[in-house]
Amino acid sequence: MAAAQRLSRLIVPLAIGATVVQSALYDVPGGYRAVLFDRFSGVRPDATGEGTHFLIPWLQRAILYDVRIKPRNISTTTGSKDMQMVSLTLRVMSRPDIEHLPKIYQSLGLDYDERVLPSIGNEVLKATVAQFDASELITNREIVSARIRDDLLNRAKEFNILLEDVSITHMTFGKEFTSAVEQKQIAQQDAERAKFVVEKAEQERQASVIRAEGQAEAANTISKALNKAGDAFVQFKKIETSREIANTLSQNKNVSYVPAANGNMLLQVPSQQQ
C-alpha cells in the first residue's frame, strides 16, 4: 500500500513534467520556417530553421511559414494605349524572403501572398499594357513580358516577397480587334499571292523574250551562212534530197533499177493482178 502511494506520487510529477516538456518542444518540417511570438517582447527578429526547437510554454508561440516556391495565376482585363480591350493571365512563382519572415508576419500575416500578389499583379499589368498599342503587344510580346517581370519583381520586393519566375501564359483581345487582325492577315496573304503571280508572269515573259532572241539569232546565223555559201549550198541540199528519194524508192518492190547512158533510172513496174 505504501509502495503504491509512493509510485502514484512519482507518476503525477512525471506526467506533469512530460506534458511541460512536450509543450516546450516544437518541430519545423522541411520547407518551412518558424516565427516565434513572445507575449512580452513580441515577434522575435529571427526566423527558426528546420528541426526541433524549445520555447517557453504559454509565454511563447511558434508560427510556421511554408517557404517553398508556390505558383499563382493572376488574370486581368484592361485597355491598351489605343483603347483595345486586352485579357491577360500571368503565371507567378513566388516565395517569402526568409530573412524578413518576422516583418511579413507583423505586416501581412500568414496569407501574405493572397493579400499582395493579386493586387500588385493587376497594378503592374494595367500600367504596362496602357503603354502599348494592341498590335505592339503582339509584335513586341517579349519586351512587354520583360517589362512586366521587372516591374513586378521590384513591387514584390517592397513586401519582402521573392519572385522566381514571371511569364504571360494567356493574351486575348476584343472581337473587333481580333476580326481586324484576321482581315489584315487575309489581305496580306492575298497580296503575297498576287505578287507571286506577277513575278511568275514576269519570269515567263522574260523567258519568252530570251527564246525569241535566240531564235532570231539562229535565223540570222543561218541566213548569213546561206548568203555566204550561195548556190553551192542549195545544190548540195538538192543532191541530199535526191539521194533520200532514190533510197526510199529502191526499197519499193514495184520499182525497178534500169541503167541509162546519162545515169541510172528507177522505173515503177505495175504489179500483176492475180
pLDDT-based confidence at residue 3 (cuts at 50, 70, 90): low
Please indicate, yes or no, if residue 9 is contained in any of the structural domains: no
Of 96 and 17, the one with more pLDDT: 96
User: Does residue 61 carry a pLDDT above 60?
Assistant: yes
Last residue of a domain, which of 10, 40, 67? 67
Q: Which of 192, 214, 236 is the last residue of a domain?
A: 214
Same domain, 40 and 99: no
Going by pLDDT thresholds of 50, 70 and 90, the confidence category of residue 176 is: confident
The total number of structural domains in the chain stands at 3
Please tell me the distance from the alpha carbon of residue 221 to that of residue 216, in angstroms, as a whole number.
9
Reported as a single tens digit per residue, the pLDDT across 187-232 is 777 777 778 778 888 888 888 878 888 877 777 776 776 676 666 6
Q: What is this structure's pTM?
A: 0.62
- The verdict on residue 242 lying in a domain is no
Model confidence at 258: pLDDT above 60 = no
Q: Are 93 and 163 in contact (CB under 8 A)?
A: yes
What's the CA dihedral at 104, 109, 110, 114 to 10 degrees? -90
Question: Can you give the residue range of the structural domain that contains 200?
Answer: 176-214
Whether 88 and 137 map to the same domain: the answer is: yes
CB contact at 8 A, 175 and 181: no
H/E element holding 42?
strand 42-43
> What local confidence, expressed as pLDDT, does residue 125 receive?
95
Residue 269 pLDDT more than 70?
Answer: no
Rg of the Cα trace of the chain?
50
User: Considering the domain boundaries, does residue 244 fall inside one?
Assistant: no
What are the pLDDT digits (tens) for 118-164?
999 999 999 999 999 998 998 899 999 999 999 999 999 999 999 99
Per residue in 65-121, pLDDT tens? 999 999 999 999 999 999 899 999 999 999 999 999 999 999 999 999 999 999 999
